[in-house]
A = this chain, B = another copy of it.
């Protein structure tokens, strides 16, 4: 495994020639309540991406630290890229990897709002540039969360500043977590949620969705391990096909 932040070009040259795969985390700078940092989605996705790169002997790219979190913009410090900009960033990186002889790219997405730009970039890179991209959204998280967590998510598969994310942050970057400020909020979703452009602040006060208080690093490790296992299985199935 090679971390491109630390590597030199001759090292990358050697790894690329051996067929190493690039791994890229896409996070966000987005509010995560009073107890988690704005970088939560970046820290988590980069944490998962690093473990994946270690396991598959991949080339770990620097993470994208900004995502599309426009619906949390009313919470201070939430700074977004537009969806077209995210797509452009990923296409530029993917084309650079393709020109550089990289074999393939695995994207680890840490933020819901990035899904579509990532999917569109992957489509463009495959269809127009013939470069294979696999994009993962924490595969297996829902199942593991239901096993290890004591609290319920605010909505199905909706994990934001809750027990799941707080546990993973406690495992990855405990120095960034203020458990003393962790508080529960189960907002009532408006009927037309997801059907109109709507700021989350219109029905959520703290920035938390669910109950972060039962979070522990041990649960976070379990979540990470499960996601890692499932991710690696998917990557290997995919590589056997695109390789």
Please give the residue numbers on chain A whose beta carbons come within 8 Å of chain B beta carbons, in ascending order: 4-13, 16, 29, 31-39, 42, 59, 61-63, 65-66, 70, 73, 75-85, 88-89, 92-93, 96-97, 99-101, 116, 119-120, 122-123, 125-127, 132-137, 139, 176, 178, 181, 191-192, 195-197, 207, 233-234, 237-238
Min CB gap A111→B, angstroms: 14
B contact residues around A81 at 8 Å (CB): 88-89, 92-93
Q: Are A8 and B29 in contact (CB under 8 A)?
A: no
Q: What CA separation (Å) do A103 and B141 show in the bound complex?
A: 40
Q: Are A75 and B9 in contact (CB under 8 A)?
A: yes
Closest 4 CB pairs between A and B? A12-B77, A62-B65, A13-B76, A9-B31
User: Which B residue sits closest to A136, measured CB to CB?
Assistant: B195
How many copies of this chain sit in the oligomeric assembly?
Answer: 6
Q: Are B32 and A4 in contact (CB under 8 A)?
A: no
Q: What CA separation (Å) do A93 and B148 show in the bound complex?
A: 37
Q: What CA separation (Å) do A234 and B100 show in the bound complex?
A: 31
B contact residues around A137 at 8 Å (CB): 195
B contact residues around A116 at 8 Å (CB): 116
User: Which B residue sits closest to A116, measured CB to CB?
Assistant: B116
Q: Are B38 and A76 in contact (CB under 8 A)?
A: no
B contact residues around A192 at 8 Å (CB): 134, 234, 237-238
B contact residues around A65 at 8 Å (CB): 5, 62-63, 65
Min CB gap A106→B, angstroms: 9
Min CB gap A133→B, angstroms: 7
User: Which B residue sits closest to A10, measured CB to CB?
Assistant: B34
